[in-house]
A and B are shown apart, each in its own frame.
Chain A
Amino acid sequence: MGLAKRVIPCLDVDQGRVMKGVQFVDIRDAGDPVEIAKRYDQQGADEITFLDITASHEDRDTMVHVVEDIASQVFIPLTVGGGIRQLSDIRKMLNAGADKVGINTAAVFNPEFVGEAAARFGSQCIVVAIDAKKVSSENEQARWEIFTHGGRKPTGIDAVEWAVKMVGLGAGELLLTSMDRDGTKDGFDLALTRAVSDAVAVPVIASGGVGNLEHLADGVIEGHADAVLAASIFHFGQHTMGEAKKRMEERGIEVRW
């Protein structure tokens, strides 16, 4: 018995309200972030991740207040991503009560930012979010590339090499999302998850595609993920944290109760 594999609900937040975009296009309202965070905390979520999906163009202070409200009532680790571009963005979120920040696009355009952030705030709070898409064809060796802008723009950067580079610069954890699977409910891209997780020393959170509880267990067992992240199966009452952990435990995974 030792470290438990983590189950992390993810809340996409748009102007202070929780949303879940299907492939980032068809968006439905799923409620108040503070109430939802409290519900997940009571259900036994191991952490909660917030992605501010409006951060790039709307005012960001709404999210700071949401994080402050949640951090005053929910005493488990909180990660905030979306629109983190400069050291002052990180400081603002950490001061509001976030424990970790997710850096995505800014890392692609300026990898040194990850190094600066880790040096200033410590690797333990720097999560690099990697959005990857398969670019190899069926009969080739599998290869994934980093995509930006919600999976629309290719960068030509190899996902596994990128993961190794980000950890070298000081990322303390990786949030790996398959843009092919995100919103599909077909399960994680397990080959991608395993390739990245096996290539780095730091924990990897698998994301993108969870449609049922078996997918969560598959992410750990076959994908070698240290944590699994999902949104819609939890948001719309399809499953509770408890059901997720029970199924994972039945499949031999150590979880926290």
Chain B
Amino acid sequence: MQKLAIIDYGMGNLHSVSKAVQTVAPEQEVIVTSCPDTIYQADRVIFPGVGAIRDCMSEIHRLNIGEIVANFVKEKPVLGICVGMQALMNFSEENGGVDCLGLVDGRVKYFGDQHVDQDGTRLKVPHMGWNIVHQQVPHPLWKDVPQDTRFYFVHSYHIHCDNANKVAATANYGITFDAALFDNNLFAVQFHPEKSQHAGLQLLKNFTQWNGKF
């Protein structure tokens, strides 16, 4: 039986991610854990995260999650979700500036208090709701997910990846930002697949079947 570990470092509700994965992969064992041995034994890892980046990074460091994810992703597939994706970058502007794991080169930037769209209309922050995700590469995780499908987002900070060749999808909210990244065994999304109905479940299903190749 294949095992999927959802890393629990105390930041947020993992019930939804876990239920969503169990729904699309009933034949797999889904474990919510912070135990390094259990994580290393899994076939795939989901690295989630909600809340403020400083609190997240502090728990990630305390539980040595960064090293575990860095080691795991050399061998097997990892899916980062929301703040889990942001934590992979070099640096976040949130909370006055926080150094992150640096597994992918790039920064996490604030949308801004005076955020406006192209025609000057004011945009609310957080960016909350269903927005269009524009796929940039035919990655296996997009299998059976139509181009420009809407996914559910909740975030005030967004990713800017240094290397455009690692961007799996973009979205637009006043500016164009990186909504999904890929790098060998790693795939990461800013939106919440576990809350994005059919398309989200399809992406999670694709992850549970992914061998890390592209």
User: A residues touching B (Cβ–Cβ < 8 Å)?
Assistant: 1-6, 41, 46, 68, 71-72, 75-77, 94-99, 119, 121-125, 172-173, 201-204, 226-227, 256
CB distance from B172 to the nearest CB of A (A): 5
Q: Please judge, given known A-B contacts A97-B19, A201-B125, A256-B150, whether A122 and B52 are in contact too, CB under 8 Å.
A: yes
Q: A124 and B15: CB pair below 8 A? A: no
Q: Does B210 contact A (CB under 8 A)?
A: no
Question: Pick the contact of A122 from B12, B15, B194 — CB < 8 Å?
Answer: B12
Interface size of B by CB at 8 A reads 37
In the docked arrangement, what's the CA distance between A173 and B16, Å? 20
Q: A256 and B173: CB pair below 8 A? A: no
Question: Pick the contact of B15 from A71, A172, A204 — CB < 8 Å?
Answer: A71
In the docked arrangement, what's the CA distance between A173 and B128, Å? 9
| List of 6 A-B pairs having minimum Cβ-Cβ separation, nearest first | A122-B51, A256-B130, A94-B13, A97-B15, A124-B154, A203-B124
Which of B69-77, B84-92, B178-186, B195-203 lies at the interface with chain A?
A: B195-203
What B residues does A95 contact at CB under 8 A? 13, 15
> In this complex, what residue of B is CB-closest to A198?
B122
What A residues does B125 contact at CB under 8 A? 201-202
CB distance from A256 to the nearest CB of B (A): 4
User: B residues touching A (Cβ–Cβ < 8 Å)?
Assistant: 12-13, 15-16, 19-20, 23, 50-52, 113, 117, 123-132, 150, 152-156, 172-173, 192, 194-197, 200-201
In the docked arrangement, what's the CA distance between A121 and B172, Å? 27
What A residues does B15 contact at CB under 8 A? 68, 71, 94-97
Q: List 28 A-B contacts (CB under 8 A).
A: A1-B132, A3-B129, A3-B130, A3-B173, A46-B129, A72-B19, A75-B20, A76-B152, A76-B197, A77-B152, A77-B192, A94-B13, A94-B15, A97-B16, A99-B13, A122-B50, A122-B52, A124-B50, A124-B51, A124-B154, A172-B154, A173-B126, A201-B113, A202-B126, A203-B126, A203-B128, A227-B129, A256-B130
What B residues does A202 contact at CB under 8 A? 124-126
Question: Pick the contact of B129 from A41, A94, A204, A226 — CB < 8 Å?
Answer: A226
In the docked arrangement, what's the CA distance between A5 and B173, Å? 13
In the docked arrangement, what's the CA distance between A35 and B68, Å? 41
> In this complex, what residue of A is CB-closest to B152?
A77
What A residues does B117 contact at CB under 8 A? 2
